[in-house]
Structure 1
Amino acid sequence: MALGGALAVQYRLYAAQVAGVRRIGASTIRVTFGGAELAGFDGGGRDQSVSLFLPHPGQDAPVLPAEAGDDWFGAYRALDPQTRAVMRSYTIRAQRPERAEVDIDFVSHGDVGPASRWAGRARPSDRVVLLGPAAADNRSVCFRPPAETDLIVLVADETALPAVGGILDWLPADTPVRAWIEVPDAADIQQLPVGARAEVRWIVRGSTPPGSGLLVDAVRAARLPAGTPYAWVAGESSMVRAVRRHLVGERGLDRRRVTFSGYWRQGVSEDALRAEALADAAA
């Protein structure tokens, strides 16, 4: 499998297999991937994202184009959707180049969705492919606080919790951090690598639907210390928009100091979101 053109400068395909699986919360399954190729995985940490290609049930490995020159993604999309690999976006929770391993956390919905179904059945030696970084400074790392930042603000739901962990791993231990994290169940609360100057508030959603305003209400009610903050917001799209509007419109943060990403949208599959993005790009 080869990538061509500009894509190959920052990214490459990594063949990998499952090295371990464990449940780390009521809603989260952590899968460790290993393989010789992952020794070259040159991730930038923080919120480093990858595209993960999974096989369909009954397939031994994900089906991908063998060669496609400069249009590898076009060749992938041209394959039969019932046969070609399932493609999903994930954040790397941890990477260990010395052991040729990376960890990815999956939010478990049982058999609702192909990635959740795959993770619930994953076993050692199951084969996957990652489209990931070949250079640590790559555009899939979005958390980039300006040099003069003196406070980090993190707002996330469970889908962005692995990125929060990666960001906290990367930050110096004495960095002032205010974080709000929404999870479905109290059993989803994790031990995070926080320093003495970090404050993390967990919000347990329970039966309240995602994106219902719990996070924006919690942030709105908080007092932030004076200074020059940098905010990173990720998770369900409507929540992300509401928190960004509050930070920029109500608190007056410079919009250039707010990084935001809708990881998912309530009631819409990732395939549909990707199709929307392609249509918008074409338009």
Structure 2
Amino acid sequence: MPTDDLVSTLRVTAVVRLSPHLVRVTFAGVGLTGTGTWPDQQLKLCFPRPGQAEPRVPAADPSEVMRWYQAFMAIPDDERPWMRSYTVRAHRGSEIDIDFVLHPDAGPATRWAAKAQVGDVLARYGPSRVYHQALPKGQDHLFAGDLAALPAIATLLGSLPEDATAQTFVEIPTPDDAQVLSRPVTWLSRDGAPAAGSPLLLDAVSRAEVTEDTVVWLAGEAAVVRSLRRHLVERGVPKSRIQFTGYWRHTLTQDDAPTAEDLAEAQERVAR
């Protein structure tokens, strides 16, 4: 893959408010046709600092990941873009759709998405197939996550064979945040209550039917994901059948240092 497929600027071509807490932004960019497509396709978005027309990114070879990241971190703090991880909701040649959750405690990504307009510019690193992890083979699936996990869940459901089964649980802030997907979903609305401490996902998953052959995919707030995984392992689902990712952390951002739990999770995912 050409190295310039990994990094480029992205220009906003459309903005659609999907629901009270979700906005879809369509981007066009050079190199997207060379990245390929697959379910749960991840990339990094770089958001400009105040006063910047577009984010500043390194000229270092992006195929040398650590060297590129070191060059990124060497950019002065007040000029270095905020970097956040997102899932591609749809990929059409030189265009991609990204769905942004509008969190109440708005960070730089939420602030940007709430005001996004056609012509705005971000930068990207990825998507790279190096980081793609295919689901384990199996016919029976369980997907669980929150609104941040919805884009990935949608693409994973759309990739399943017709004869596969899927139990899907998605926690959402309000009923109006539900969507029509390719397969049935159990929507768990908090009815406007805070996400912190919500038992909805764990309660729903605890009632789901699982076996040692069930393929499980979990994502969302890190502590919730760990609780879901522990519960399913205790019910006999092998760890090798569970893919899990903590997308975000209460009171912490991706700029904050990882916790001991974050590091342990990362080490286990790498080991798998």
Tell me which interval the TM-score lies in, with the shorter structure as reference length: 0.7 to 0.9
Match of 2:56 in 1: 63
Equivalences for residues 55-204 of structure 1 within 5 A: 55-67=48-60, 70=64, 71-97=67-93, 100-109=94-103, 112-133=106-127, 138-146=129-137, 149-194=138-183, 199-204=184-189
TM-score (norm 2): 0.87
2:24 corresponds, among 27, 30, 48, to 30
Matches of 1:156 and 1:111, distance apart in 2: 20
Question: How far is the alpha carbon of 1:193 from its aligned partner?
Answer: 1.3
Match of 2:270 in 1: none
Give the number of equivalent residue pairs: 260
Distance 1:218-1:27 versus aligned 2 partners, 3 A rule: same
Question: How far is the alpha carbon of 1:37 from its aligned partner?
Answer: 2.7
Match of 1:3 in 2: none
Matches of 2:150 and 2:220, distance apart in 1: 9
Question: How far is the alpha carbon of 1:68 from its aligned partner?
Answer: 5.7
Cα RMSD of the aligned pairs, angstroms, is: 2.5
Question: How far is the alpha carbon of 1:107 from its aligned partner?
Answer: 0.5
Given residue 133 of structure 1, which amino acid in structure 2 is its aligned partner?
P
Match of 2:229 in 1: 244
Given residue 142 of structure 1, which amino acid in structure 2 is its aligned partner?
Q
Match of 2:203 in 1: 217
Given residue 185 of structure 1, which amino acid in structure 2 is its aligned partner?
T
| SS of match in other structure, 1:193 | coil
Matched-pair contact (CA < 8 Å) for 1:156–1:181? yes
2:35 corresponds, among 22, 41, 48, to 41
Matched-pair contact (CA < 8 Å) for 2:139–2:163? no
Question: How far is the alpha carbon of 1:170 from its aligned partner?
Answer: 1.5
Gaps of 5+ in 2: 268-272
C-alpha offsets along residues 149-191 of structure 1, whole Å, 9 cap, x if unaligned?
1201101111101100111121123320001110111110011
| SS of match in other structure, 2:126 | strand
Equivalences for residues 258-277 of structure 1 within 5 A: 258-273=242-257
Q: Name segments (4+ residues, structure 1) moved above 6 Å.
A: 7-11, 275-278
Matches of 1:47 and 1:150, distance apart in 2: 18
Question: How far is the alpha carbon of 1:133 from its aligned partner?
Answer: 3.1
| SS of match in other structure, 2:154 | helix
C-alpha offsets along residues 185-219 of structure 1, whole Å, 9 cap, x if unaligned?
1110011112xxxx421100131433432111111
Matches of 2:140 and 2:2, distance apart in 1: 35
Matched-pair contact (CA < 8 Å) for 2:8–2:30? no
Given residue 200 of structure 1, which amino acid in structure 2 is its aligned partner?
V
Q: Kindly, what percent of the aligned residue pairs are identical?
A: 37
Distance 1:14-1:116 versus aligned 2 partners, 3 A rule: same
Distance 1:210-1:253 versus aligned 2 partners, 3 A rule: same
Moved more, 26-35 or 67-76: 67-76
Matches of 1:233 and 1:25, distance apart in 2: 23
